[in-house]
A and B are shown apart, each in its own frame.
Chain A
């Protein structure tokens, strides 16, 4: 079993839709949770991070962590074609080495 599981998609939605991206993890030592966005031929770019269960909001993006079920989510409201990218969830245990999911490819059509 991989430490972080993520459905690779692709996930196709129309512009304006609410997008839900999800990951599960297996290691209880993971304390920090991040979402990265990766455009084609680019490195990952940090979108959001959190270290506690609950919700964290930043503009159109909401990150949600449920440590009891080891479940991580990213919600994107009013999705735009420019949101089309691969979204990677990542975790770590307090040190700066990250464990990533496979990434979910999101396609937002105009």
Chain B
């Protein structure tokens, strides 16, 4: 299977709840990065996983956490949801952690709405 797939496509949660978003990497890719894209903004880097270890983190609180599995699929977990967490969450896969450039493939994202 080629391409990056994310699930679910849309999600509505209540403030204070927890959510898990899933990402299946492109075949052959061993690195996954998660981004948050608020309405009208560019994507912001949340964190990256390489070989099941966190390999870098952006300016997001610890209630944003992740996992990468041996098959390189990944999860993003957000605890204690806040209204400002409403955004499009994007997963991107690549091979390695340097010079990825053209090998950086985004999924279509999960649209999370917190009410």
Chain A interface residues (CB < 8 Å from chain B)? 4, 6, 8, 32, 34, 36, 41-46, 49, 51, 88, 90, 94-103
Of chain B, the residue at the smallest CB distance from A89 is B42
Contact assessment for A96 and B44 in the assembled complex, using a CB-CB cutoff below 8 Å:
no
Given known contacts A49-B101, A94-B99, A96-B31, is B90 in contact with A43 (CB within 8 Å)? yes
Measured in the bound complex, the distance between the Cα atoms of B33 and A100 in whole Å is: 14
Of chain A, the residue at the smallest CB distance from B31 is A96
List residues of chain A with CB within 8 A of the CB of B41. 102-103
Number of B interface residues at 8 Å Cβ cutoff, please give it: 29
Q: How distant is A96 from chain B, measured CB to nearest CB, in Å? A: 4
- Chain B, residues 66-78, CB within 8 Å of chain A (1/0): the string is 0000000000000
Measured in the bound complex, the distance between the Cα atoms of B97 and A46 in whole Å is: 17
Contact assessment for A99 and B40 in the assembled complex, using a CB-CB cutoff below 8 Å:
no
List residues of chain A with CB within 8 A of the CB of B31. 96
17 contacts between A and B (CB under 8 A): A8-B40, A44-B90, A88-B42, A88-B43, A94-B98, A95-B56, A95-B98, A96-B96, A96-B100, A97-B33, A97-B48, A97-B56, A98-B33, A100-B43, A100-B44, A103-B40, A103-B41
